[in-house]
Amino acid sequence: METVKNFLKQKATNLRIHSILSTSEAGSGHPTTCLSAADIVSALFFHAMRYDCSDPQNPNNDRFILSKGHAAPLLYAAYAEAGIIPTDKLCTLRQIDSILEGHPTPRFAWTEVATGSLGQGLSLGLGMALNGKYLDESDYRVYVLLGDGETAEGGVWEAAALASHYKLNNLIGIVDVNALGQSQRTMYAFDIDTYCQRFEAFGWQTVGIDGHDFEEILPALAQAKASTDKPTMIVAKTFKGKGVSFLEDADNWHGKALAKGEELDKALAELGPLNLDVPVQIESPPAVDTNANLSKTECEPPDYPPDEDVATRGGYGVGLAKLGSANPNVVALDGDTKNSTYAEQFMELHPNRYFEMFIAEQNLVGAGIGLAKRGKIPFVSTFAAFLSRAYDQIRMSAISQANIKYAGSHCGVSIGEDGPSQMGLEDIAMFRAIPEAVVLYPSDAVSAERLVAEAAAHNGIVYLRTSRPQTPILYDADERFYISGCKVIRQDSADKATVVAAGVTLHEALKAHETLAAEGIAIRIIDLYSIKPVDTEALMAAAAETNNTLITVEDHYPEGGLGDAVLEAVATEDVHVHKLAVTGIPRSGKPEELLEHHGISASAIVQKVRDVIA
C-alpha cells in the first residue's frame, strides 16, 4: 500500500502542477477545481481503471467521464501522465489550434463525450453502463467524476434513479465535495452525510471518504468494483485548490488562473518539482473482435393497404421495428410514451435493445448520447414538446458529435384536445439550430418508414418529427426518400404559386389544391420532408416556374421552422415567401378546428393563394 500510495501521490502532484501550469499559460481555466480532484483522478487513472493506451475506442476500456467538465486541464494532465499525450502539449490548452480545449470535446480523441454543461455526466455514463452490462456484455466499468455543486442539477437524480433501477453495478460515481460552487458555497458545504443519504435513498451503494487520502480512496474504489447489483457513489470530501496554501478552500478563485510571475511561482514552490520518474503500468482490457459491417439499413419495404389512413408516428413505429431487425446496432429508448410514439413496436420485436427510461427526458437523451458514443445507433423518442426538456443535452450531443437520432411525436396543434402543453410547436426551430443536424418531417407512413432507415444510414444527429393524426398514404411502397430531398407532388404548367408543406399541412395543401382547381387556379405542391438540409434547387426551380411565389404552411410556430428554412434557401433571390404557421398560443379543440383556428388549414391555404395571386 505504501509504495502504491507514494506513487499515486507523486502522480497527483504532477497532475496539480500540470493543471496550474497549463491554465496559467492559457491565462484562463479552472485550476482550483482541478486541484480538489487530483488525488481521485490519480487513483482512477493510475490504479483503478483499465484501458488500452493505444486505443481510446477499445470497446472494453473502462470509461471515464468528467462530468465537472471545467476540470479539463486535469483530464489532459492525466493522459499526459499516462504517457498517452506528450507533456509539452499541455501548455497549448485553450489555444485555437489545440485539441485540448477549455472543456473536453471529441477533438481530443480520449474524450469519451463532451462535457461542460453540468449535471449531464451521470446520464452519459449511464448510457455507457447500459451498453456494457446489457448490450456488449463487456465487463468495463464507467467512472463519472461529478462536482458537488452540480448535484443540484435534476439530471443527476434522473440518472441516479435509472441507474439503480437497472442495477448498473458497473457505474461508479465520485462526487468531489469541495464545498465551493462558482459564486459561493454550495448548499451543503462539507456535509458528506447528506450526499450519501441522498444517493442511498436513490438505491446506490455509498462511501464517504477523505478525497485526499489514498488510504480511503483505494478501498472505496475496491468496494465499488465489488458491487454486484447496485451503482456506487463515492462521496469525497476535498478542498478546492488543495496543494497550494493560498488557494485551499479560498473564496473567489473559481475559474481563475494563477498569474504568471510571483503568484504562479509561489504555487509551484509549494507543490515542489515534477516527479519525473514515475512510469505507469496501466492494465489493458482484452482485445476485441469488432463486428465490422454493422451498417445495414435496408429494411423490409412499407406495406400499407392503399385506402387506410396511417399516422406518421405509426410509420415510425413500424419502420423502427424493421430497422431493428436489419441492424443489431440499433437501440431504442423512450420516456414512458412508447404506446404513443410507437417505439413499443421495436420493444416488442427487440426487447433486449429497448430501454424504458421513464418520465425523465434529460436522462433519456443523455443515456442515448452515451450509447451512441459506444457505437450503437440510438433512436430516442418522446413527444416533440418534451424534447424541449432535454435541449441542453441535445445541444451538447452536437458538440459530442454523437450519432444519435431523435424522434418527436405529437407535433403541432393537430394533436387536438390535449392542448398546448403537449404540442410540439418549436421543435423544428430547436433542431434546425443544432449544427449539422438533419431535420426530417415525413408526411405519410411510407415516407416515415423510409426516413427512419435514412436516419440510421446517416452519420450524425437526425430529428424525425411525427404527427398524431391518421393521414392518407401518399406514396407507393417503392418510392425512395433522401436527406436533402423533397417531392413535388402536384405540378402543372399553369401553376400560379407553389405551396411548400410537410406533415398534416401537406394534406391540407392537397385539399386546397382541389378547391382551387375547381376555381381554375393551379398550384404546385412540394412535400418538404427534409427541412434541413433543404432542397434549395427544387425550391428555386419551383419558384422560377410559379411567379417566384412560395407559400409555406407548417404545424409549428412561425419562427425557426419550415418557413424559415425555405426563406433561408431563397434569401438572396427575388423570391417571395408567404409563411403560414400557428399564430398565437394554441388551445384545446378538435384537430380540424384547431388547424382552422390557427390559420394552417386547407381554407387558410386557399385564401392565401387567392390573396397572393391577386
CA distance 49 to 221: 10
Of 265-294, which residues contact a copy of itself (CB under 8 A)? none
3-state secondary structure 159-183: HHHHHHHCCCCCEEEEEEECCECCC
- The one among 36, 117, 169, 471 contacting a copy of itself by CB under 8 A: 117
Distance of CA 589 to the CA centre of its chain: 34
Residue closer to a copy of itself (CB basis): 326 or 567 = 567
Residue closer to a copy of itself (CB basis): 307 or 574 = 574
86: CB partners within 8 A, 6+ apart: 80
Residue closer to a copy of itself (CB basis): 118 or 323 = 118
Catalytic residue among 361, 426, 454, 554: 361
95: CB partners within 8 A, 6+ apart: 26
Based on the shown chain and the rule CB under 8 A, indicate whether residue 201 belongs to the binding site for a copy of itself.
yes
Residue closer to a copy of itself (CB basis): 58 or 232 = 232
Q: How far is the CB of 477 from a copy of itself (least distance, A)?
A: 30
Of 283-342, which residues contact a copy of itself (CB under 8 A)? 334, 336-340
- The one among 6, 95, 245, 484 contacting a copy of itself by CB under 8 A: 95
Element (DSSP H or E) covering residue 395 = helix 391-399
Answer whether 443's CB lies under 8 Å from 419's CB: no
Of 511-550, which residues contact a copy of itself (CB under 8 A)? 532
Q: How far is the CB of 241 from a copy of itself (least distance, A)?
A: 17
The C-alpha cell at 464 is 424525425
Of 383-442, which residues contact a copy of itself (CB under 8 A)? 385-386, 388-389, 391-392, 394-396, 398-399, 401, 416-422, 425-426, 429-430, 432-436
**To which residue does cell 435509472 refer?**
162
The C-alpha cell at 287 is 482485445
Is 361 in the active site?
Answer: yes
Of 131-150, which residues contact a copy of itself (CB under 8 A)? 149-150
- The one among 40, 71, 118, 233 contacting a copy of itself by CB under 8 A: 118
Of 359-388, which residues contact a copy of itself (CB under 8 A)? 359-363, 385-386, 388
Residue closer to a copy of itself (CB basis): 376 or 579 = 579
Answer whether 295's CB lies under 8 Å from 66's CB: no
- From the list 191-199, 283-291, 309-317, 367-375, the region that binds a copy of itself by CB under 8 A is 191-199
- From the list 23-31, 38-46, 307-315, 321-329, the region that binds a copy of itself by CB under 8 A is 23-31
- From the list 77-85, 306-314, 358-366, 499-507, the region that binds a copy of itself by CB under 8 A is 358-366
Choose among 112, 133, 22: nearest CA to 67: 112
Residue closer to a copy of itself (CB basis): 402 or 474 = 402
- From the list 52-60, 113-121, 291-299, 537-545, the region that binds a copy of itself by CB under 8 A is 113-121
Could you tell me the end-to-end alpha-carbon distance of the chain, in angstroms, rounded to an integer?
88
The C-alpha cell at 463 is 430529428
Counting DSSP H helices and E strands in the chain, the numbers are: 21, 19
Q: How far is the CB of 37 from a copy of itself (least distance, A)?
A: 17
What does each C-alpha distance from 11 to 40, 63, 74, 147 come to in angstroms? 11, 20, 12, 21
Based on the shown chain and the rule CB under 8 A, indicate whether residue 588 belongs to the binding site for a copy of itself.
yes
Q: How far is the CB of 29 from a copy of itself (least distance, A)?
A: 8
Residue closer to a copy of itself (CB basis): 420 or 472 = 420
111: left (phi > 0), else alpha (psi -120 to 50), else beta? beta
How does DSSP assign 88-151, residue by residue? Answer: GGGGGTT-TT-S--SS--TTSTT-SS---STT-HHHHHHHHHHIIIIIS-----EEEEEESGGG
CA distance 553 to 349: 37
Choose among 526, 590, 531: nearest CA to 556: 531
Q: How far is the CB of 193 from a copy of itself (least distance, A)?
A: 10
Of 152-181, which residues contact a copy of itself (CB under 8 A)? 152-158, 161-162, 165, 181
CA distance 605 to 513: 9
567 backbone dihedrals φ, ψ, rounded to 5°: -55, -45
Q: How far is the CB of 564 from a copy of itself (least distance, A)?
A: 5
* 185 DSSP assignment: B
Residue closer to a copy of itself (CB basis): 152 or 326 = 152
Residue closer to a copy of itself (CB basis): 46 or 529 = 529
Residue closer to a copy of itself (CB basis): 26 or 512 = 26
Residue closer to a copy of itself (CB basis): 417 or 519 = 417
The C-alpha cell at 167 is 442495477
Of 234-263, which residues contact a copy of itself (CB under 8 A)? none
3-state secondary structure 425-475: CCHHHHHHCCCCCEEECCCCHHHHHHHHHHHHHCCCCEEEECCCCEECCCC
- The one among 119, 125, 370, 412 contacting a copy of itself by CB under 8 A: 119
Q: How far is the CB of 338 from a copy of itself (least distance, A)?
A: 5
Of 26-55, which residues contact a copy of itself (CB under 8 A)? 26-29
172: left (phi > 0), else alpha (psi -120 to 50), else beta? beta
* 211 DSSP assignment: T
Q: How far is the CB of 313 from a copy of itself (least distance, A)?
A: 14
Q: How far is the CB of 585 from a copy of itself (least distance, A)?
A: 5
Based on the shown chain and the rule CB under 8 A, indicate whether residue 484 belongs to the binding site for a copy of itself.
no
Answer whether 142's CB lies under 8 Å from 104's CB: no
- From the list 44-52, 78-86, 355-363, 469-477, the region that binds a copy of itself by CB under 8 A is 355-363
Q: How far is the CB of 267 from a copy of itself (least distance, A)?
A: 20
CA distance 428 to 581: 12
Please give the size of the binding site for a copy of itself, defined by CB under 8 A. 115
- From the list 54-62, 200-208, 259-267, 503-511, the region that binds a copy of itself by CB under 8 A is 200-208
Q: How far is the CB of 486 from a copy of itself (least distance, A)?
A: 18
CA distance 590 to 592: 6
Return the active site residues. 361
